[in-house]
A and B are shown apart, each in its own frame.
Chain A
Amino acid sequence: MGANLDDEESARPYIEGLVVREFSSLASNWRSTETAQIYLSRHEIPVIWDLDTRALVRHIRKVGALRGIVCTDGTPADQLIHETRKLPTMAGLELASRVSCEKRYEWTKGSIELTASPWREEMGEAVSEAEAQRFRVVAYDFGIKQNILRLLVDHNCGVTVVPARAKAEDVLELKPDGVFLSNGPGDPEPVTYAVQNIRHLMGRVPIFGICLGHQLCGLALGGRTFKLKFGHHGANHPVKNLLTQKVEITAQNHGFAVDPDSLPASDVEITHVNLNDHTNEGMRHRSLPLFSVQYHPEASPGPHDSHYLFRQFTDMMKETKLSNAFRRGLKR
């Protein structure tokens, strides 16, 4: 086990602390470059281990998500509780601009292949019809996971990542084939600048949103978001695609959700629902090229069942390109 840099999802880990039942002090995987301890120390992330983590989970299940403090200096518990109570709650917290990149940048790396067979010649061709077309995607970084970028590259996209507060006009000037709205931390409601931008982009360019990006789309479309009791976290949430009736096992990590009843039914179609608690997991615009999902189709960690959404995005961009060309042709 241990840590390796290939699997990083952002420039640095954003957790404040790690609580585990048992912490492995060993780096033994063929890909690991250092122990988890060294990796976390380097990023100054404290680890509490040997704790009854199941009791903690059950507590959170009962009372909902909680604020917490990690302390090693012996401060009395009641004082810590007092200090914890003064911490802001997630509700109303705008965090996206805090974790976003400062400057626009290009992303070119695709997914890494683990190990290929040394007997390649005897293996069948991996089924993948190369797409001749390339797409230009601008990705809003509200706290983006790098695997989203890798998958966009895998799907023949040239990606420009822009800061959370990048103006819609500036984005459109980059002449994108599509705009991607990333995941990110915090409450979507105070991220009003992004909602404004999305409203401006809607209809002008195909849009694909994930997680916070999905919630922001929900707000842009006139809906409401609300805070879940303890959110969805983990890599085993069953989500049903209402268009195909198929179930995907998905990775999730969100504390807020879009209220599907608040969305204008005439414009918005609910496409995905969580089978555990029936909360909204995805939607698309009935007439404009826009769709978004609440969960993490890029996974990493998590199952790859929902990778098809990236293809759906490129298909949508392809279609839009074609119809634009067609319209231009008509005009001529």
Chain B
Amino acid sequence: MPKRTDIKRILIIGSGPIVIGQACEFDYSGTQACKALRAEGYQVVLVNSNPATIMTDPEVADRTYIEPLTKDYVEQIIAQERPQALLPTVGGQTGLNLAVELAEGGVLEKYGVELIGASLRAIKVAEDRLWFKDACRKVGLDVPASALVNNVQDALRLADQLGYPVVIRPSFTLGGTGGSIAYNREEFAEAIAHALDTSPVHEALVEESVLGWKEFELEVMRDFRDNFVVVCSIENFDPMGIHTGDSITVAPAQTLTDKEYQRMRDAAAAVIREVGVETGGSNIQFAVQPETGRMVVIEMNPRVSRSSALASKATGFPIAKIAARLAVGMTLDEIPNDITRVTPSCFEPTIDYVVVKIPKWQFEKFSGADTTLGTQMKSVGEVMAIGRTFKEALQKGIRSLEPHTPWRAPADTPVSLLREKLSTPRPDRIRWLLVALERGLPPAEVCELTKIDPWFVRQMEDVVLLAKRAAGVTVGTVPHELLREAKRNGMSDEQLAQIWKTTPAAVRHQRAKARVAPVFKRVDTCAAEFESYTPYLYSTYEDEDEADPIAQPKIVILGSGPNRIGQGIEFDYCCCHASFALSEDDYETVMINCNPETVSTDYDTSDRLYFEPLTLEDVLAVIEREKPQGVIVQFGGQTPLNLALELKRNGVPIIGTAPESIDLAEDRRRFGRLLEELGIPQPRNGTALVPEEAVRVAGEIGLPVLVRPSYVLGGRAMVIAYDLNTVQEYVAQAALMGPARPVLIDQFLEEATEVDVDALADGDEVVIGGIMEHIEEAGVHSGDSSCVLPPVSLSPAVLDRIREYTKRLAQALQVVGLMNAQYAIQRDTVYVLEVNPRASRTVPYVSKATGVPLAKVAARLMTGRKLAEMNLPLTRTNGVAEIAVRDYYAVKSPVFPFNKFRGVDTILGPEMRSTGEVMGISKTFGQAFAKAQLAAAQRLPRKGTIFISVNDRDKKQLGALGRDLAALGFKLVATRGTAAALQAAGMEAEPVYKVNEGRPNIVDLIKTGKVDMIINTPLGRESFYDEKSIRRAAIRYNIPCITTLSAAQAAARGIRALHEHALEVAALQDLHGKRASTHR
């Protein structure tokens, strides 16, 4: 069917900031959708609050709005742009929910906007648990049996009939509160009573449990002509009961017979038809009882999803791109397959390899969080690995995680602990599984404890047996066949080195002698049946190599691996930009990365894509095959930087800033000496290996001090110590955690303003890319702090000094490319906190704020081009060039995953914990801040009651804030001390009980909706429990909670702006004017 001509302009809603469960896979899908629709001649209007996305690059859509994803703002955009259609299916759950809100709120009707891709009815049927079950039953499909109950007797009768365990879901509670699983009658009786009490309508759903069943997903597509294809089947290694986002998953499904698979395929087709998703991609989940083969439908997503991104990467079938085309009326048989060029997209990919996805968790960032995996997703990222067998893919996947050093369990681990490690799923279960098999636990018992399919356990047993055989020889005596077998089964040089008690280099040397080297095979959607034109490759140990490198100047870009807190989409954005720029400069670009969620691993992004672990072994293999002119390591965050020196030692041509300079900047002592030479102040600092030394150093520096390990990103495990005891404990703990790496101890600058600077340098000239002033004071990790560009409170003299220092530092480090510097300004003295001669987290934000794509420019500088040729819009102050700031403010605000980690304190500190960021743009700082807060789901109130509780230090400065808030019409309530401080400053404030003082206390007020905003700065240890419960209640009831005074002041300005200005939105294309096109 030809595409629709009655539509010209289509609105796409992005998924907003990166949060757990909704990450950059939606940048990938949204970007694909934009590109596909524009290629078909449609105008695309895009809205997304996340500036770190490729989709919000002004060249991706015709009109790009970085605005809060709320009904009001999007309505304003619709009024301004008047699109005829809205594609709601590529922006994750956020995009879908917002589209439903717009439809139900009458906005779409008012402006004549049609939902394409999924109808309102289809979305609602798919999203509502009971409606969905009914739809499945209607077409004869089996679902977990369930019924609604409203008294304990009926519930017990039902549960007895269903058998235990049984699932309880109270009706209409917030976020599934009160839901549970009961394993026996007694537990159930208690749980159902509680559930009925929790439910406002005294009702609960009692459902048959499918815990421990095999879990599968099908990624399917359907078009207007009812053509239906399954793009990919995915099997969860971990059984039902663990969220699929937290499960190791395998594509294609490994343990189904054709009969079972086809039954599932038929069911998927029936479901998508009955639910009424007329076009596009859907994800449908199934559970299969292993003993009987009974299959039930679990749920569906009527949109592209995390799994569809994975399926696209796993098969080479670009689901989002095709879904967008189907939404405008094209049919699958009209769309050519990019990879084969001659065949249509109306087919089902054949896979002649195995793909394994492994989630990445970061519980170490959230002390107090429960590490048990369950039905709520907790991982922050994932890796994908491709191998010719499951074993090879699994082992490649494990080493794609970082740290990738093979992990050994203590030899004396008791069997009882092993059993516990297997039966309770936690992030490290896969490693314990190997340990258990190695220790001789019978595979049948392993299956019983884990409910993992025997086929997978047998595969792991094979790996263990192979490792045992390898242990029987040495690196010098290993027969070539055994070495090849080990590599063919995915064992890394590091793993073998550990078995043979030698170095990976020695294993590598032995491999070279034995001619055991990897080959590269193509991902081609068709198992080699047709020729492929997209070099999308993976390594394996086979006979034939298909890499077929081209003799053309080429640059390899190393990606950033799995998303982590502190190393996420921002770095992928930079890698993509490097690739785009160098491609424009006629280089062949080669990307290496292992993160399936990203735009960088779209086969469209670079000329060649190697889906490989970012380890020395795997990266060297690609480089040896490709023989590039240059390798870029400074865009992918710490992951490629950690490889830089070793790569250089192996003769790899690293371009841009020399690895030695990067190393120098990381080395506190050498860098400290450099700063002294340059005459740039820095906080007093020292390093220590043992507790006693640490206490001495801290004493010399003077308290408070900031203590942290060396070589980290995202401020992992930093603390601010106000006493020597804390210092001592910290160092003692750090020594336990790993090999002796020094602990860094810095003078902590209290009440200082922190500033981030991104700069470009070509080895001679330096250009300041952007100066960002943090809203939270120094001490809050820069990634967790809101910041504003241009700065709002810094004096011209301070700004000049910052520019001057930045220039001197970039020149001294001979930076070629990007550099990020962090400063603290305390009483007009500018201290350097940290310098990183590489791309930083803020690069995309600065680029969006200024309209100059810094990473693209940097990539060009790295190939030898000069700043002077870049035609940048510059201003010069005292001889330092800077990208001209605009006549608006851009505020960046972080987004935190606290709602996923019950019991974790939300207080900000030197440890970064935010997963994503948003940006607010406006003519005034206040409004930009309010927008950013709103985009980060901190909806600043226009009126109402504000609760204030601050520490003694902040009490001194409370007057101005209190007056501002009172002037804005807020009623103030406060804890006794704070209320007294406010009253002393001449304001009315109603005292309220702390949690331990009596009732109703502050938490009661929060629960009953009597508080609209909370300002709570940390008081210290004594009141820790009290404060934590206030902040947790704020999260639970979704009330903005501000934990620093400076942010509270910014919030007051934001609220004032909300009072004074009407809601306004602006497209980047208008804000940037002609600038966006001047950089080439």
State yes or no: do A and B come from one complex.
yes
Q: Chain A residues in contact with chain B, CB under 8 A?
A: 1, 4, 7, 21-22, 24-26, 28-31, 50, 52-55, 57-58, 61, 114-119, 122-127, 234-238, 240, 245-247, 249, 275-276, 299-305
Which residues of A have CB within 8 Å of B256? 29
Binds A, one of B466-474, B527-535, B610-618, B1028-1036: B527-535
In order of increasing CB-CB distance, the 5 nearest A-B pairs are A301-B258, A55-B544, A28-B454, A117-B142, A126-B140
Which residues of B have CB within 8 Å of A26? 454-455, 458
Binds A, one of B341-349, B588-596, B707-715, B940-948: B341-349
Closest B residue by C-beta to A122: B145
15 A–B pairs (Cβ distance < 8 Å), ordered by A: A28-B455, A30-B290, A54-B527, A54-B544, A115-B293, A119-B142, A123-B137, A124-B140, A235-B348, A236-B348, A246-B225, A246-B227, A275-B333, A276-B342, A276-B347
Which residues of B have CB within 8 Å of A1? 255, 257, 455
Closest A residue by C-beta to B256: A29
Which residues of A have CB within 8 Å of B530? 61, 276
Question: In the assembly, what is the distance between CA of A236 and CA of B529, in Å?
Answer: 11
B291 within 8 A of A: yes
B584 within 8 A of A: no
Which of A57, A235, A249 is most buried by chain B, counting CB atoms within 10 A of its CB?
A249
Closest A residue by C-beta to B229: A249
13 more A-B residue pairs beyond the given contacts A58-B546, A240-B333, with a C-beta to C-beta distance below 8 A: A1-B255, A7-B258, A52-B542, A52-B544, A58-B544, A61-B530, A114-B259, A117-B294, A122-B145, A123-B140, A249-B229, A302-B258, A304-B266
Question: In the assembly, what is the distance between CA of A24 and CA of B260, in Å?
Answer: 18
Q: In the complex, which residues 224-262 of chain B have their Cβ closer than 8 Å to any Cβ of chain A?
A: 225-229, 255-260, 262
Scan B1000-1042; emit 1 where CB is below 8 A from any A CB, else 0: 0000000000000000000000000000000000000000000
Report yes or no: A30 in contact with B333, Cβ–Cβ below 8 A. Answer: no
B543 within 8 A of A: yes
Report yes or no: A114 in contact with B458, Cβ–Cβ below 8 A. Answer: no
Closest A residue by C-beta to B522: A54
B625 within 8 A of A: no
Question: In the assembly, what is the distance between CA of A7 and CA of B138, in Å?
Answer: 29
Given A22-B389, A246-B225, A302-B258, are A234 and B350 also a contact pair (CB < 8 Å)?
Answer: yes
Q: Chain B residues in contact with chain A, CB under 8 A?
A: 137-140, 142, 145, 208, 225-229, 255-260, 262-263, 265-266, 289-296, 332-333, 342-344, 346-350, 352, 388-389, 453-455, 458, 488, 521, 527-531, 542-544, 546
Question: In the assembly, what is the distance between CA of A15 and CA of B255, in Å?
Answer: 23
Question: In the assembly, what is the distance between CA of A246 and CA of B332, in Å?
Answer: 10
Given A54-B542, A54-B544, A57-B528, are A238 and B346 also a contact pair (CB < 8 Å)?
Answer: yes
Taking the nearest CB of chain B, how far is it from the CB of A69, in angstroms? 19
Report yes or no: A124 in contact with B139, Cβ–Cβ below 8 A. Answer: yes
Report yes or no: B352 in contact with A247, Cβ–Cβ below 8 A. Answer: no
Residues of B contacting A: mostly: loop
Given A57-B528, A123-B140, are A299 and B455 also a contact pair (CB < 8 Å)?
Answer: no
Which residues of B have CB within 8 Å of A119? 142, 145, 208
Report yes or no: A236 in contact with B140, Cβ–Cβ below 8 A. Answer: no
Taking the nearest CB of chain A, how far is it from the CB of B138, in angstroms? 5
Report yes or no: A247 in contact with B346, Cβ–Cβ below 8 A. Answer: yes
Closest A residue by C-beta to B350: A236
Report yes or no: A275 in contact with B139, Cβ–Cβ below 8 A. Answer: no
Report yes or no: B295 in contact with A115, Cβ–Cβ below 8 A. Answer: yes
Closest A residue by C-beta to B291: A30
Question: In the assembly, what is the distance between CA of A4 and CA of B257, in Å?
Answer: 10
Question: In the assembly, what is the distance between CA of A106 and CA of B229, in Å?
Answer: 36
Which one of A115, A236, A238 contacts B333 once the chains associate, using CB atoms below 8 Å? A238
Report yes or no: B225 in contact with A245, Cβ–Cβ below 8 A. Answer: yes
Report yes or no: A28 in contact with B265, Cβ–Cβ below 8 A. Answer: no
Report yes or no: B527 in contact with A249, Cβ–Cβ below 8 A. Answer: no
Which residues of B have CB within 8 Å of A28? 255, 453-455, 458
Which of B140, B225, B350 is most buried by chain A, counting CB atoms within 10 A of its CB?
B140
Taking the nearest CB of chain B, how far is it from the CB of A219, in angstroms? 27
Residues of A contacting B: mostly: loop
Given A54-B544, A61-B528, A114-B293, are A29 and B346 also a contact pair (CB < 8 Å)?
Answer: no
Which of A116, A123, A302 is most buried by chain B, counting CB atoms within 10 A of its CB?
A123
Closest B residue by C-beta to A1: B455
Report yes or no: B544 in contact with A247, Cβ–Cβ below 8 A. Answer: no
Question: In the assembly, what is the distance between CA of A236 and CA of B528, in Å?
Answer: 13
Which residues of A have CB within 8 Å of B350? 234, 236
Question: In the assembly, what is the distance between CA of A54 and CA of B521, in Å?
Answer: 9
Which residues of A have CB within 8 Å of B293? 29-31, 114-115
Which residues of B have CB within 8 Å of A126? 140
Which one of A115, A235, A237, A238 contacts B292 once the chains associate, using CB atoms below 8 Å? A115
Report yes or no: A24 in contact with B294, Cβ–Cβ below 8 A. Answer: no
Report yes or no: B262 in contact with A303, Cβ–Cβ below 8 A. Answer: yes
Which residues of B have CB within 8 Å of A118? 294
Which residues of A have CB within 8 Å of B226? 246
Taking the nearest CB of chain A, how far is it from the CB of B1045, in angstroms? 59
Which residues of B have CB within 8 Å of A275? 333, 343-344, 346-347
Taking the nearest CB of chain A, how far is it from the CB of B519, in angstroms? 9
Report yes or no: B529 in contact with A57, Cβ–Cβ below 8 A. Answer: yes
Question: In the assembly, what is the distance between CA of A123 and CA of B529, in Å?
Answer: 42
Which residues of B have CB within 8 Å of A21? 352, 388-389
Question: In the assembly, what is the distance between CA of A57 and CA of B140, in Å?
Answer: 40
Closest A residue by C-beta to B392: A22
Report yes or no: A7 in contact with B521, Cβ–Cβ below 8 A. Answer: no
Closest B residue by C-beta to A230: B529
Which residues of A have CB within 8 Å of B389? 21-22
Report yes or no: B140 in contact with A127, Cβ–Cβ below 8 A. Answer: yes
Question: In the assembly, what is the distance between CA of A52 and CA of B521, in Å?
Answer: 11
Report yes or no: A55 in contact with B343, Cβ–Cβ below 8 A. Answer: no
Question: In the assembly, what is the distance between CA of A275 and CA of B256, in Å?
Answer: 28
Question: In the assembly, what is the distance between CA of A63 and CA of B508, in Å?
Answer: 36
Which residues of A have CB within 8 Å of B142? 116-117, 119, 123
Report yes or no: B346 in contact with A303, Cβ–Cβ below 8 A. Answer: no
Which one of A25, A55, A238, A302 contacts B543 once the chains associate, using CB atoms below 8 Å? A55
Which residues of A have CB within 8 Å of B255? 1, 28-29
Report yes or no: A53 in contact with B343, Cβ–Cβ below 8 A. Answer: no
Report yes or no: B258 in contact with A31, Cβ–Cβ below 8 A. Answer: no
Taking the nearest CB of chain A, how far is it from the CB of B782, in angstroms? 47
Taking the nearest CB of chain B, how far is it from the CB of A3, in angstroms? 10
Question: In the assembly, what is the distance between CA of A53 and CA of B455, in Å?
Answer: 22
Which one of B139, B291, B529 contacts A61 once the chains associate, using CB atoms below 8 Å? B529
Which residues of A have CB within 8 Å of B137? 122-124
Question: In the assembly, what is the distance between CA of A302 and CA of B145, in Å?
Answer: 30
Report yes or no: B348 in contact with A249, Cβ–Cβ below 8 A. Answer: yes
Question: In the assembly, what is the distance between CA of A124 and CA of B227, in Å?
Answer: 25
Report yes or no: A31 in contact with B139, Cβ–Cβ below 8 A. Answer: no
Which residues of B have CB within 8 Å of A30? 290-293
Which residues of A have CB within 8 Å of B333? 238, 240, 247, 275
Taking the nearest CB of chain A, how far is it from the CB of B656, in angstroms? 37
Report yes or no: B258 in contact with A52, Cβ–Cβ below 8 A. Answer: no
Which residues of B have CB within 8 Å of A29? 255-257, 260, 293
Report yes or no: A236 in contact with B349, Cβ–Cβ below 8 A. Answer: yes
Report yes or no: B529 in contact with A115, Cβ–Cβ below 8 A. Answer: no
Report yes or no: B145 in contact with A58, Cβ–Cβ below 8 A. Answer: no
Taking the nearest CB of chain A, how far is it from the CB of B669, in angstroms? 52
Which residues of A have CB within 8 Å of B347? 236-238, 249, 275-276
Question: In the assembly, what is the distance between CA of A275 and CA of B488, in Å?
Answer: 36
Closest A residue by C-beta to B458: A26
Which residues of A have CB within 8 Å of B343? 238, 275-276
Report yes or no: A300 in contact with B140, Cβ–Cβ below 8 A. Answer: no
Closest B residue by C-beta to A233: B529
Question: In the assembly, what is the distance between CA of A102 and CA of B333, in Å?
Answer: 44
Which residues of A have CB within 8 Å of B332? 247
Question: In the assembly, what is the distance between CA of A321 and CA of B350, in Å?
Answer: 43
Closest B residue by C-beta to A21: B388
Taking the nearest CB of chain B, how far is it from the CB of A58, in angstroms? 5
Question: In the assembly, what is the distance between CA of A52 and CA of B484, in Å?
Answer: 13
Question: In the assembly, what is the distance between CA of A116 and CA of B295, in Å?
Answer: 9
Which residues of B have CB within 8 Å of A124? 137-140
